[in-house]
A and B are shown apart, each in its own frame.
Chain A
């Protein structure tokens, strides 16, 4: 059952005006999330508040936990019991959840984690950032595991990807992270809400529901018998390979004839579209590759694009994180340049266009030197 349309904004176009954080909360409810556990942290507080208001009203579970550590472990418990569960936080809080995420992955438990990124390292800032790419896509917690990582650039995508996260998580039995940032979380845009039933929930015969009419079962990640952990890890890796083959998504803008390629994700990817328009207006053939999934990374398609452009410019609100995956995909066939905005500043279209021009004109560091600080273009 869906929640009532938000009061603030029902319109005859079928769209509602919502903040990104709230749009994620509403998406979770519409996706059949039965339990939400969270702890306050800026800039995602509206999401927790939304769930506090709407989950109990629908007979679902909301707990403000004592810590992010507890919240992710409550998600673990709810998921182990076989229900859809979610937590959300922002960068420092997501660091605290890494232990639990590793256990979820090790136990093959579905879960949805929303990270509304803020600046780091440490307490950093409360401004938007993309500094958690490495943490989200390369591990974060201990051991060999992967999360599916989705990267929204708008309130609509924040909503849609949250619904999608529940579906993917259940299908593959992996935790899924929606890697948003403070800009996407805080801004308001008109969106279309998910209609109809939640994504289908596959049977969960592994869930702990009490050993009635079947042998007792357990959910664990400890495998100490010789060879046992190796076999377990092979099962995980087989699942990750399948996800890699099926789920990589890349949004392309003007890539059909492009000579230069911008690679950017999330908020930076959205702003880069403006830079593409400005460049095209001047006759510069620029295209944009915006990964919608950061893991699995759309490497194969990026490699194809890399093979036919004069160079790739990567722009991120960090010091060069996705840059590494772009370089791995390009594998040296074309030069890469980078611009980073690591201080909580969101670049403008003009900022990005100027930096792009420098790349095209050969005034920007080629071949992948040290990341250029923001404004150094």
Chain B
């Protein structure tokens, strides 16, 4: 356990490096929450993370724990390999929406279905950020992106995929929750969810999944404040914020 200290401090699980993220981006916040949770649960020194391809690829520069960089979408497979090789380690997979729900959909579902004892942190901001704001599997209906310039049309582009609901159809997952970084309370809820997820893994209860609805002001083409509002209203309307699975049992809405 980290020594309790008054006021703001940098978690031991974070490095003293300036992040490259855009103003108002949710990733920096998620990194910080993740680092705080690793500190508070005393897990940092036995944690191995897997960084995705996408905006969070440089997570290993910001998080002060061992991290492997995976190919795009393969993060849960790499995490599976690490966890199976070293079952006493704490293993997390940090992924964006394109990585997790498009190119890595198969790896995502099958790692969950096997009940791999890993924690998947899914940062859903409805766009491919690093490549320039293309349409993601979670882009909202009508949402304009670089590759849906007239707005996402479900008739030809499909509707946004709800990952928590999809994974909740499987038998194995132990913990599934969706939270929204839409303001102060959302941030606290996200930290609580991450804590529950890592505790699930540390207690040997199996697979845990936390979806974090997250702002991307750059590609939302909104101010940081307006982006938080977008997350809390339009995104949360499509992606209900709640616990789906706890202790391996479905939780009713």
Contacts and interface: CB of A to CB of B under 8 A. Distances in A.
A255 interface: no
Interface string A47-88: 000000000000001010111011101111111111101000
Contacts of B46: 210, 212
Contact of B44 (A99, A100, A211, A221): A211
A210 B48 contact: yes
Interface string B71-109: 100100111111111100110000000000000001101
B60 A220 contact: yes
A70 B74 contact: yes
Contacts of A82: 85-86
Interface in B54-81: 57, 60, 63-71, 74, 77-81
B68 A73 contact: no
Contact of B57 (A81, A99, A222): A222
Most buried by A among B44, B67, B82: B82
B45 interface: yes
B32 to A, nearest CB: 16
Given A210-B46, A210-B89, A73 B65 contact: no
A80 B77 contact: no
Nearest to A210: B46
Contact of B89 (A61, A65, A85, A209): A209
Nearest to B114: A63
Contacts of B63: 216
Contact of B110 (A66, A217, A221): A66
Contact of A209 (B44, B64, B66, B69): B66
A218 B69 contact: yes
Contacts of B110: 65-66, 70
Chain A's interface size range is 35 or more
Given A67-B106, A85-B85, A210-B47, A99 B71 contact: yes
Interface in B133-190: none
B78 A76 contact: yes
A178 interface: no
B50 interface: yes
A67 B73 CA distance: 13
Contacts of A69: 74, 77, 106-107
Contacts of B74: 69-70, 73, 76, 99-100
B81 to A, nearest CB: 2
A97 B44 CA distance: 32
Interface of B: 15, 44-48, 50-51, 57, 60, 63-71, 74, 77-86, 89-90, 106-107, 109-110, 114
Interface of A: 34-35, 37, 61, 63, 65-67, 69-71, 73-83, 85, 99-100, 103, 107, 208-213, 216-222
